[in-house]
Amino acid sequence: MEKQNSHQEEEELLTEENDNLEQDAEENEEPEVIEVSETNENDELENLQKQVEELENKYMRTQAEYDNFRRRTREERSADAKYRSQKLAEELLPAIDNFERALAVQSDNEQVTSLLTGMEMVYRQLKDALANEGIEEIGNVGEAFNPHLHQAVMQVESDEHESDVVVEVLQKGYQLNDRVLRPAMVKVSS
């Protein structure tokens, strides 16, 4: 019996040792698992935060690009509306020049005078239509010479005018709003 008791005691000791070892192993494993899961969660949280930041940056850039696109489109539409009559005006300018040359003719003949009166009425209507579209004449005698508005074809000495002043307009210039359609051809004093 003593053998049995000692054998039982040995088994109990072995069982107790195994239990202690298992308990120690479990205690040692739990903190590692917790640390691993915490670091995994931290890494995952950092990755998610980086993704959110990247998406926010992409969103902000896209929003800025869209705002710039809308602004450019609005400006283009405004410019198109502002200068819509430019091509037509450029094509009409030679006809207006011809009207002015024809109206400069003087005659005593009644038929010619009647014809000139009709032409003058058409000429005024054309000028009014151009003015309604924002087209105006540039280049008047006595103005200071401006290379953006005038094209100097001659320079003459003049006692009446200071230097760089328009003395004579050879061909009228026109501008549409702030855009020069055709510079005025002028003589300038030296």
Sheet holding 184-189, edge to edge: 150-156, 184-189, 166-171
Give pLDDT, residue 40.
81
Residue ranges of the chain with pLDDT lower than 70? 1-38
> Are the C-beta atoms of residues 120 and 76 closer than 8 Å to each other?
no
Give pLDDT, residue 80.
84
Give pLDDT, residue 31.
45
Give pLDDT, residue 150.
93
**Using one digit for the tens of pLDDT, what is the confidence trace for 59-68?**
999 999 999 9
Residue written as token pair 């107790």: 16
Give pLDDT, residue 37.
60
> Are the C-beta atoms of residues 140 and 166 closer than 8 Å to each other?
yes
Which amino acid appears at position 134 of this protein?
G
Give pLDDT, residue 67.
95
Give pLDDT, residue 188.
93
Does the predicted TM-score (pTM) go above 0.85? no
Give pLDDT, residue 33.
44
Give pLDDT, residue 105.
85
**Using one digit for the tens of pLDDT, what is the confidence trace for 131-145?**
998 999 998 888 999
Number of Cα atoms under 13 Å in the Cβ half of residue 118: 5
Residue written as token pair 């205690």: 27
Q: What is the DSSP secondary structure assignment for residue 114, as one 8-state letter?
A: H
Chain centroid to Cα 5, Å, comes to: 99
